[in-house]
């Protein structure tokens, strides 16, 4: 059985030590801080917090070195990123009005038996759009993988296998937060999903999001006004049936019950689960052993405590 712990942001206070004590494994501890991009590897604070030696896998920088040595791979990756970015822009064109229609119907007043069906249909349209978007993203990834397989990438392959061996030999893998797309891309590039699924893990914020089946970007108080929550990509799928919401306290508009209800219903049956500073979700395989400081957005848009299974 594999132990996994998901945490919220580690500032202003860290509960990483508490999580590591709960897992209590032997063997080397490795960390992935690719989400920190240029700051990858600056793990002195993390080592102090944990009180154990920790080795950073440095996959952000190793990937940069691979791209420098393998320009064909770099170009292929750029092409994929450009496509994904463009696809995200196209998705937003439909997402805005589709969500707007659902919001209007949730606000509308009409005969209940008429309204209920229309509301349900509007939410189904949003869900269908999300599903369609995810399929399109996955086909772009598949195309990338196929074309990558056709390249002669001996240096990249050796590097990838070296990282996979480090993960396989680890007693505990930590995955820090940061830029969620960069983190996910680097973990994908090194094909770490399969190995990570077998190791004891502690992941926080973006690190935790990257382990789920679907990654949702959200911020109800974005600086330039309302922005619709959007599906970014499929995650590694190691933690199923959860949409993780780090920084929920500051990013979610709990006062707007309709908006929160739509959020919850849009991603059901996955549970939309908050991860704030101090949150701790402890899984043994898929079984939830402990759930502290975390809430689930209910179907009616209310905050409901997360409870162990």
Partner 1 sequence: MNPALATLTRDGAPGPEAVEAFFRDHDFPLVEPGNVTFVYRGAADEVILRRWISGFNTALPMQRIDGSELWVLTMDLPPGSRFEYKFEVVRHGGRELLLDELNGVVAHDPFGANSVCQGYGYERPAWTLPDPEAAAGTLTRLAVDSRAFGSRREVGVYLPARFRRNRSYPLLVVHDGSDYLRYAALQSVLDNLIHRLEIPAMIVALTQSPDRLVEYTGDPRHARFVVDELLPALGAAYPLSDGPGARGLMGASLGGVAALHTASLYPDRFGQLLLQSGSFAFSDLGHHQKGPAFDPVVRFVNSYRKSPFALADKIYLSCGIYESLIYENRSIVPLLQAQGMQIHFEEARDAHNWENWRDRLRSALTWLYPGPVWMVYE
For residue 219, give both structure tokens.
């911020």
Output 45 or 75, the one with its CB closest to partner 1.
45
| Cα distance between residue 27 and residue 142, in whole Å | 35
| Cα distance between residue 116 and residue 54, in whole Å | 54
Compute the residue count for the chain: 309
271-275 sheet: strands from edge to edge:
242-246, 271-275, 295-297, 303-305
Beta carbon of residue 300, minimum distance to partner 1 (angstroms, whole number): 26
| Cα distance between residue 131 and residue 94, in whole Å | 13
User: DSSP code of 212?
Assistant: B
Output 147 or 227, the one with its CB closest to partner 1.
227
Beta carbon of residue 11, minimum distance to partner 1 (angstroms, whole number): 7
Beta carbon of residue 9, minimum distance to partner 1 (angstroms, whole number): 5
Beta carbon of residue 55, minimum distance to partner 1 (angstroms, whole number): 21
Q: Tell me if 193 sits within 8 A of 238, measured CB to CB.
A: yes
Output 100 or 250, the one with its CB closest to partner 1.
250
Which residues are within 8 A (CB) of 162 and not within 5 positions of it... i.e. 6 or more apart? none
Q: Which residues bind partner 1 (CB under 8 A)?
A: 9-12, 35, 38-39, 177-182, 205-206, 209, 217, 219, 222-224, 227, 246-247, 250
Output 98 or 205, the one with its CB closest to partner 1.
205
Beta carbon of residue 109, minimum distance to partner 1 (angstroms, whole number): 26
Output 44 or 285, the one with its CB closest to partner 1.
44
What count of Cα atoms within 13 Å lies in the side-chain half-sphere of residue 123?
A: 19
| Cα distance between residue 226 and residue 230, in whole Å | 12
Beta carbon of residue 223, minimum distance to partner 1 (angstroms, whole number): 4
With CA atoms as reference, report the closest residue to 7 among 196, 278, 296, 285.
278
Output 10 or 261, the one with its CB closest to partner 1.
10
């Amino acid at each position: 059985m594999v132990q996994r712990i998901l945490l919220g942001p580690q500032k202003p206070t860290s509960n990483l030590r508490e999580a590591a004590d709960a897992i209590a494994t032997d063997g080397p501890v490795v960390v992935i801080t690719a989400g920190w991009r240029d700051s990858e590897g600056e793990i002195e604070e993390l080592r102090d917090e944990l009180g154990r030696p920790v080795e950073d896998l440095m996959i952000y920088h190793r990937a940069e070195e691979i791209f420098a040595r393998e320009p064909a791979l770099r170009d292929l990756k750029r092409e994929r990123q450009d496509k994904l970015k463009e696809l995200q822009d196209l998705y937003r064109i439909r997402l805005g009005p589709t969500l707007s229609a659902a919001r209007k119907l949730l606000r509308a007043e009409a005969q209940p038996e008429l309204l209920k069906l229309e509301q349900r249909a509007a939410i189904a349209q949003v869900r269908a759009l999300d599903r369609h978007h995810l399929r399109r993203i996955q086909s772009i990834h598949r195309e990338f993988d196929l074309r990558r397989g056709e390249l002669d990438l001996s240096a990249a392959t050796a590097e990838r296998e070296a990282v996979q061996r480090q993960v396989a030999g680890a007693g505990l893998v930590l995955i820090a937060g940061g830029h969620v797309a960069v983190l996910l891309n680097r973990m994908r590039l090194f094909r770490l999903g399969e190995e990570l699924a077998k190791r004891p893990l502690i992941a926080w914020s973006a690190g935790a999001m990257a382990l789920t089946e679907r990654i949702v970007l959200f911020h109800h108080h974005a600086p330039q006004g309302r922005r619709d929550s959007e599906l970014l990509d499929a995650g590694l799928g190691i933690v199923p049936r959860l949409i993780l919401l780090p920084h929920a306290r500051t990013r979610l508009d709990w006062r707007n019950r309709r908006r929160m209800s739509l959020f919850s219903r849009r991603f059901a049956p996955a549970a939309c689960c908050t991860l704030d500073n101090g949150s701790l979700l402890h899984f043994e395989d898929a079984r939830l052993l402990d759930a502290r400081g975390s809430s689930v957005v209910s179907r009616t848009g209310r905050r409901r405590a997360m409870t162990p299974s």
